[in-house]
Amino acid sequence: MKPPAGRLLVEGEPPPALERDLAVIGRSVNRRDALEKVTGQAEYSSDIALPGMLHAKILRCPHAHARIRRIDTSRAEALPGVRAVIGPDNMAGWHTYWYMIAQPAFPTEIAYAGQEVAAVAAESVDIALEALRLIEVEYEILPAALTPRDAMKPNAPLVPILDVERPREGNVQQPVYVRERGDLERGVADADVVSVSRFNLPTQYHVDIQTRCCVASWDGDRLTIHEASQGVWNVKRELAKSLGLSEEQVRVVVKHMGGGFGSKAGAQRVVHYAARLSMLAGRPVRLELTRPEEFLSHPRRYAAEVTMRLGARHDGTLTAIDADIVLDIGSGSLYAGRYALTLHQISELYQCANVRVRIRAVYTNTGPTGPQRGVLDPIATFCTESAMDDLAGLLGLDPLVLREKNHAERFQGFDAGTASLPYSSKRLDQCLATVAEVIGWAERDEKRDAARRGCLRRGIGLAAYCLERGGYAPFSAKADVVARPDGTVELLAGIVEIGGGQTTILPMIVAEELGVLPERIRIHHGDTDGTHYAPSSHASRITSEMGPAVLQAASLVRQRLFELVAPRLEVSPHDLVAGGGRIHVRGAETRGVTFDEACALIEGDEFRATGSRAPNPDDVIFRGFGAHAVEVEVDVETGEVRVLRVVSSHDIGRAINPKLVESQQLGGAVMGLGYGLYEEAELDRKTGMLLNADVHQYRVPTSLETPTIEARNVEGEDAFYPYSAKPVGEAPLVGVMPAVRNAVRHALGFGINELPLTAARVLEAISSRRGADAR
């Protein structure tokens, strides 16, 4: 495989071509961090113990909406072994930051059950817990709005929001987004058939298996943070701002972390509290959340209520797309305001001239919300793809044919400037064809009918998806590659290994550019000391944003080595090639030096090159595409849905490491099955308390529910990405839920529009359907 001629997004000169076949990229190299992890040597933040370390605990409010009338921490402060207590009285006006969004650290009006009221650092966990019991709080309990419906009522209680700087009207975040293209009503009038579907999507919790844990250590001048975050640089900046320190005074270290999935993209509450307590006590402080606290306090996925209207002609041509979306953003949406706009993919998956999307984000007296694997793309995709199957049903068309009929070759924006821009690459049609072929789409009705036995029904469904991925502002990803005279090569990258293989992929890029084995490349990562700013390992960003910077830095090192070697070989640097651990004259492999010999020519201690990612161009649209197909078995007597098979096809460009890509696809599918079938929060409608804040009753998939998952990706060039490697971290979740829903629809003959499709919900839908038929 030859590397594609590039439009790689880097600052300055584009890296010169390698002029040889790729030797490292495209190989299924085993992940670098696996050895530490299988031997128990990998150190997570919860494994770190520092001399003199204190232990912290947080007092949480049991009410969904309350005012703190009085708080008295004096008895806690007097308890022997207590070293610091913080709360609304001594921390008035203090703000924590997440994505640089300010939140009051200890507000006097509580927004949700489980919100922080005070925190204590003590010599032991037992003493800290005892101190919490000694804190006296008098609450004025206020009426709470627990659902968007309640929160939008005229006299609804006003939620005291966490993202305090966001504009709002009542409990509705501003602005309300209304985006239009063409003339919706005309599109509806032009339609021969109009389908209307209403969908309810639940919130989803991340359930990282490592609960949040921070060890903060203040030495009087500098703060060192060991923690489980997806982005050390995000944490550094947010913490410096929160604590009034310079950025140089904050060092953040994350060598391993036990699951993120978006929940740890910025500085978490525990980090702020641990840091503040350490600064007050002058000792290291460890703050670890319990499993129930994880559920109560950390930003989870948005819940949504969506009404979709699709209009089409008899032949299936879409004439209108109308989506009205109400997002439950809890007591705060901890992400940038434009976030809700990713829901625009409702307008993008299919060619359609007349579109209207309205998005209302509504505050409620429940825990905060934020990004989770795929963020809002699963919502946009679920509604679009479920509605497409409903429309196909009304039209009497094959759902796959309806999709193919409305394939969108180019991006369709809402504004004049983006009305019809090209994608950097799009192979969605091939992904759909692939999953249809593998799942046996053409014979799906015959398969369904043949498999009907007793109370068991079979069904096959599919869904396409589109994600806004491939780089985000501020596009300031930078990386260093250092070569030393002793032959060592080190990559310095301020990224975090979250389990996606980031520390395996990036050294592979360096190795490829230098023509050496990947094992040879050292990496310094997960540390703000010794690295430049790097994006957090979220939003599938690392390969597409850090990849170009790393590639450029390595390429600059190669160019420097060529300059050093060329005079020895009496050729021009342009005549040299790096490969097979050697630098040699093109076409004459014996005329050259070993990589070690080349490095020995470096003057001084090292040669260091910096690579830098350039912003995305304005005239090209970057998206991830793919499709899922699913086969299910439904028991119509118990309502149980069993997924038998998942086929996942993603438009990946080229895989840098196919084995790691496949792992992302397995993991994304498993998490998607949880979202679609099992995971459901039970909120007490009276108190607003989460009733199943544990992993026994909040059911995430286990080995027993996990079906056969097949990854059949579509490959091809995309010159904007390093070696054409498109983002892959989140996409494998996105199409799973609608594919499951559509498969159940195929099995039962009608769609169920509320997730998760638990046995109880499916059974209820079957019963009410029977009741309706009987009438």
Partner 1 sequence: MSRQLPRVKRVAFTVNGQARSIEVAGRRTLAEALRYDLGLTGTKVGCNRAECGSCTVVLDGRAVFACTVLAVEASGRDVRTVEGLAGPEGLHPLQEAFIEHDAVQCGICIPGILMSLTALLDATASPSEDDVRQAVAGNLCRCGTYPNTVKATLAAAEQLRARRAGATP
Taking the complex as a whole, how short is the minimal distance between the CB of residue 659 and partner 1, in angstroms?
5
The C-alpha torsion from 723 through 650 and 328 to 69, rounded to 10°, is -50
Residue 115 CA to residue 107 CA, distance in Å, equals 9
Taking the complex as a whole, how short is the minimal distance between the CB of residue 762 and partner 1, in angstroms?
23
Task: Please give the single-letter amino acid code of residue 71.
Answer: I
Of 594 and 706, which CB lies nearer to partner 1 in the complex structure?
706
Taking the complex as a whole, how short is the minimal distance between the CB of residue 137 and partner 1, in angstroms?
17
Of 41 and 420, which CB lies nearer to partner 1 in the complex structure?
41
Taking the complex as a whole, how short is the minimal distance between the CB of residue 209 and partner 1, in angstroms?
5
Of 157 and 259, which CB lies nearer to partner 1 in the complex structure?
259
Of 436 and 646, which CB lies nearer to partner 1 in the complex structure?
646
Helix 232-243 vs helix 269-281: crossing angle, to nearest 10: 50
Of 54 and 583, which CB lies nearer to partner 1 in the complex structure?
54
Taking the complex as a whole, how short is the minimal distance between the CB of residue 298 and partner 1, in angstroms?
14
Of 155 and 703, which CB lies nearer to partner 1 in the complex structure?
703
Cis peptide before 175 (omega within 30 of 0): yes
Q: Which residue has the tokens 């957090």?
A: 536
Of 430 and 692, which CB lies nearer to partner 1 in the complex structure?
692
Q: Which residue has the tokens 């960003």?
A: 541
C-alpha 207: how far from chain center: 13
Taking the complex as a whole, how short is the minimal distance between the CB of residue 646 and partner 1, in angstroms?
10
Element at 215 (helix H, strand E): strand 213-218
Residue 311 CA to residue 184 CA, distance in Å, equals 10
C-alpha 679: how far from chain center: 18
Residue 632 CA to residue 707 CA, distance in Å, equals 10
Element at 278 (helix H, strand E): helix 269-281
Of 49 and 774, which CB lies nearer to partner 1 in the complex structure?
49
Residue 3 CA to residue 600 CA, distance in Å, equals 29
Of 296, 269, 268, the residue nearest 114 (C-alpha): 296
Structure-token pair, residue 132:
């919490």
Taking the complex as a whole, how short is the minimal distance between the CB of residue 76 and partner 1, in angstroms?
12
Spatial contact of 56 and 120, defined as CB atoms under 8 Å apart: yes
Within 13 Å and on the Cβ side, how many CA atoms surround 228? Answer: 28
Q: How far apart are the first and last CA of the chain?
A: 64
- Which stretches of the chain bind partner 1, using CB under 8 A? 30-31, 33-44, 46-47, 49, 126, 130, 133, 206-211, 256-261, 290-291, 498-501, 659-660, 662-663, 666-671, 694-696, 700-704, 706, 708-709
Taking the complex as a whole, how short is the minimal distance between the CB of residue 723 and partner 1, in angstroms?
20
Taking the complex as a whole, how short is the minimal distance between the CB of residue 755 and partner 1, in angstroms?
18
Residue 748 CA to residue 63 CA, distance in Å, equals 42
Of 412 and 648, which CB lies nearer to partner 1 in the complex structure?
648
Please list the helix, strand and coil fractions of the chain in percent, rounded to the nearest 5, in that order.
30, 25, 40
Of 210 and 345, which CB lies nearer to partner 1 in the complex structure?
210
**Residue 710 bridge partners (DSSP):** 647
Taking the complex as a whole, how short is the minimal distance between the CB of residue 639 and partner 1, in angstroms?
22
